[in-house]
Chains A and B, each alone.
Chain A
């Protein structure tokens, strides 16, 4: 007789009998003396995220005059003052389209997310950087990735599993809350753990459903088999989530499930509405990370052809960048800059939200690396050189912050490569053609 009892077998026994209560010890006992690792030596997880804003910058008031530490904050990014020491600002890095046409408001972000320039507007990115990272570090958590957009539009996403599979963004705070903290959420710090017998039932039914994959697979042509396989991967993902629900979660001291937002707020495109949505979604996202529901996350503040409006001003952001005259005194487009300033305020909010969550002996931000990118440099002419970018967080101590780093025309994909290495990937290079690079940004690496 096999005396080895697996966790599942124990749980099955529990389910067939009566539920038990499993008491958990005090949370701090799980951290080591330095507060930067669990007691068994497992380091706190490093997470990777992205943040997108639209339509670049007005370089006259965006690019700091000083390079390196103690850089200045020109007026378009002045709102970053409270988080200046937690971020890096990147300017002077280029994206290269080589022999591909410049697809307006598309080529730039596709290069920054996938490392390759698209041939046409229908040429969707292949696997985007977040998915590459998630395939390495995202498998242990409940969600491999989480993606959200403040636009209210479920089509706004910059994350792609492959060319035909965009990551669906969360756009509704209430739906996002339910997905994260609804009935299926297991509070990692709950004093009691009671496996739900219904979860075991679901898990059992799922095995029957998975048998249907073979039936379907036998009916489709070679080119569609990959899509059926993808479906199976999705079912396995559900299976993994159910298994997790049947297991006692690791405690997370930083996890404090938020209140239900109850409603989605006004659905519209004015800056105030977008900002409100961005902040609610950000707060939910940050707590999802603190609760270790995901280790890879994406947030889009705007669509690349942003339709955010300024009350009383007839042109939405994208139209404004093309039609507004350059103010000869200021040297830039004042309303376009107004929109960018609002975006940067939201970036500051996003970074602050991570830094407000205490984790170990520092904050959640210390164990995160966020990559902030856009679609153009000067949106008015869709320029792809001198792309502004940011990073935030220290990736568990592997990244320095508080720097303005200038690329000197080198590939902007260097930031993505550096980020991937910082969160534990071992790739030697990233990108294709002129966007290919094997050179990390040494200035930011500890």
Chain B
């Protein structure tokens, strides 16, 4: 039994994008950059070291607009999809999560999988982009081998073989080439993401047979052959190859299997299933109609949940949870279980709003609906049943949106205190795609030393900090945002006062002022950079590398489409997956053209 639940899912009707509908209220010219937005040109950048990040002259453009004023409808010309933007055929290294998802999809969820592969280097805001440049160390291949050995043994053990291996050998103590071949070619196609070349399959079956004879155990033979496949570069190196585009002479597209893999990694964070590979081999993926049908099927699949979780876990920087701890003497309610559940809570909130409810992405920052677990209950001060239960914060609650969830608040704070600077920086970099400069290396903090016992709140201490012109430039673009979350301590728990002084949680986001976290969430919701940042991240995640400047027309097109679809995440995925740039690639060298199964079409 190898069919997954997704294999059994019914294909849904293709949802035709409603291009051109009048959802133009949030169409804006792309802003030119952080400095222009924030008005820090008025600031006093006193030292040379800050010039690159802070040096501006004259008044800032669009620095101030009254709250809500920028939401007025503006006429926008419809942008057609640019046809000259293409992506690049890449080699990516499979991540641990993709490995786990792929194997769980092939062999079922009860397999004990916990692949410990090295983390990728975050590139262009995403770990996944790092997979396109990462090398492979010897220790890493060792890790592949260890994991493969455990997985292969488990798949073929007596508890699993009856339903994971589709045939029974004539004699369990000897070889059975027919049965081994049946299993290995079927699984091999899913693991390698294309059919095995005949000689490739034959070599593996021979190995399984020889091992079965040597060890007097059919299943042991199968296990070692499977282990071999699991450490093959065919499995762990995700290659993309180009083929001539039949519909556009002179252009090249990803070949069917490469496109199937790119789609599958994009939407499911996993290798393709059998139907997707069928679509690749039949040529269905080469036609717009066929692609639309396949993408609709993929978006309707339960695997979309894993894909969505993987993307947001990456974009939100949740890999930092691995080492998130709080000082137990300061935050006794915050345990390892709190951290794990905080990550899970936000991912559940994301999936519920964007996938289950098919809601507006911007509402993630204003929604009061979430899920609560026992470990989170003390921090939020709300009761929780066993497991995860849906919960809606009351209208007068200070918590709205994922900025007020423990994940954001605790991840972007110190072990023993809150940090408006870190929170402001995270909001800009993660959610608005605006890098915040590092502090200058030779700054002497002696003038801003703290603690000064007379400064009770973080606002007072940071105000003192910003009185230093060296610090002011960058802190002005982070702190007014982060101060809006000061009603939440470093563990994410609500507080009305700090050291006996009432907390003032007012602040501003690029000219939009607010009085508390609820207002901050609304200001972020209304900020056009929020959605354009998501578009940029999702697009680069899909094509496997940071978008270059050449892709700007594509991003403009995607921004408009996203708005036209009411900022529905699934529609954004669909638009990207069906775009020309997703499947058309730069012209390749001959070696990069399709060379499958030992044949040499490109030579």
A-side residues, CB < 8 A to B, are 15-16, 101-104, 121-122, 124, 143-145, 147, 151-155, 161-162, 164-168, 175, 179, 197-198, 200-202, 204-206, 208-209, 211-213, 215-216, 218-222, 224, 226-228, 230-235, 237-238, 241, 267-270, 307, 309, 311-316, 319, 322-326, 380-382
Contact = CB atoms under 8 A, between A and B. Distances in A.
B445 A155 contact: no
A315 B228 CA distance: 49
Given A104-B441, A311-B327, 17 more contacts: A151-B323, A165-B137, A166-B118, A168-B118, A201-B211, A202-B224, A208-B204, A219-B591, A220-B592, A232-B233, A234-B141, A238-B145, A267-B325, A269-B323, A316-B415, A323-B450, A381-B441
A358 to B, nearest CB: 29
B407 interface: no
Interface string B86-103: 000111010000000000
Contacts of A102: 441-442
A103 B440 CA distance: 9
Contact of B211 (A104, A205, A213, A309): A205
Interface stretch (B61-69, B234-242, B556-564): B234-242
B443 interface: yes
A279 to B, nearest CB: 19
Given A16-B214, A218-B600, A153 B322 contact: yes
A237 B141 contact: yes
B254 to A, nearest CB: 12
A238 B231 contact: yes
A193 B536 CA distance: 59
Interface stretch (B128-136, B375-383, B547-555): B128-136
B135 A165 contact: yes
Nearest to A16: B214
8 contacts: A124-B121, A154-B118, A201-B221, A204-B207, A230-B137, A269-B323, A309-B327, A325-B446
Contact of B595 (A218, A227, A324): A218
Interface string B316-329: 00000011010111
**Nearest 4 A/B pairs, CB to CB:** A234-B141, A165-B135, A314-B416, A102-B441
Interface in B202-227: 203-204, 207, 210-211, 214-215, 220-221, 224-225, 227
Given A154-B322, A201-B224, A381-B442, A235 B231 contact: yes
A152 B323 CA distance: 7
B215 A201 contact: yes
A144 B138 contact: yes
B327 A212 contact: no
Given A215-B234, A267-B336, A168 B439 contact: no
Interface size class of B (residues with CB under 8 A): 35 or more
Contact of A204 (B140, B211, B241, B330): B211
Contacts of B134: 164-165, 227
B146 interface: yes
A380 B589 CA distance: 51
A211 B589 CA distance: 23
Contacts of A233: 138
Given A165-B135, A269-B323, A323 B442 contact: no
Contacts of A221: 89, 91, 588-589, 591-592
Given A205-B225, A206-B228, A307-B415, A165 B136 contact: yes
B330 A314 contact: yes
Contact of B228 (A151, A209, A226): A209
Given A205-B224, A315-B416, A212 B322 contact: no
B221 to A, nearest CB: 8
Contacts of B439: 104
Which of A164, A197, A238, A325 counts the most chain B CB atoms within 10 A?
A164
Contacts of A270: 325, 327-328
Given A201-B215, A234-B138, A269 B325 contact: yes
A205 B446 CA distance: 63
A312 B330 contact: yes
Contact of A314 (B141, B327, B441): B327
Contacts of A198: 215, 220, 224
Contacts of B591: 218-222
Contacts of B328: 268, 270, 311
A161 B211 CA distance: 35
Contacts of B323: 151-153, 267, 269, 307
Which of A102, A145, A165, A380 counts the most chain B CB atoms within 10 A?
A165
Contacts of A316: 414-416
Nearest to B138: A237
B4 interface: no
Contact of B140 (A202, A212, A234): A234
B544 to A, nearest CB: 12
B579 interface: no
Contacts of A232: 233
B29 interface: no
B444 interface: yes
Nearest to A154: B119
A219 B239 contact: yes
B449 A325 contact: yes
A165 B325 CA distance: 28
Which of B90, B123, B135, B228 counts the most chain A CB atoms within 10 A?
B135
Contacts of A104: 438-439, 441
A213 B415 CA distance: 46
Nearest to A242: B145
A274 B12 CA distance: 52
Given A208-B204, A311-B329, A220 B234 contact: no
B232 interface: yes
Contacts of A162: 135
